[in-house]
Amino acid sequence: MEFTGINYLAVLAAAAASFIFGAVYYTALAKPWMAALGKTEEEVKAGAGPALYIVTAVAQLVMAFMLAGVMGHLGSVTMGVTGGLTTAFFVWLGFVATTLVVNHGFQGAKRSLTVIDGGHWLGGLLIQGMVIGWFGV
């Protein structure tokens, strides 16, 4: 399988933008997120070493690369910001939201955690789709 035609600068910019979005998002929603998670700030900080941030950055990079690949396979209909946003929304709805709802359901997580985490992934994917669509696949 070849990944020709992917704009690597767009992928890198999209990953960086969604990483920054996640930092801002969870900073703004830290208290409700920790309450939904059932953990204290100390517990969260204890598990959040540098390795976790590296894994998060790599995961955002993989997600942006895959979104660009999907957009590229869909062709010219996904070019531009609108196409990127639309593709990102449907990827979120079809893959992220569904797995998040199932996993959180079986884990017994609070619905508020699912809403907060789902909002993060929706926002991150929309940002990635917008950036990739704006740069062009």
Model confidence band, residue 85 (pLDDT cutoffs 50, 70, 90): very high
The answer to whether the predicted template modeling score (pTM) of the entire model surpasses 0.85 is: yes
Average pLDDT over residues 10-31: 97
Domains of the chain, residue spans: 8-135
Task: Flag the least confident range among 29-38, 40-49, 125-134.
Answer: 40-49
Model confidence band, residue 77 (pLDDT cutoffs 50, 70, 90): low
Q: How many CA atoms lie within 13 A of 91 on its CB side?
A: 25
pLDDT of residue 3: 62
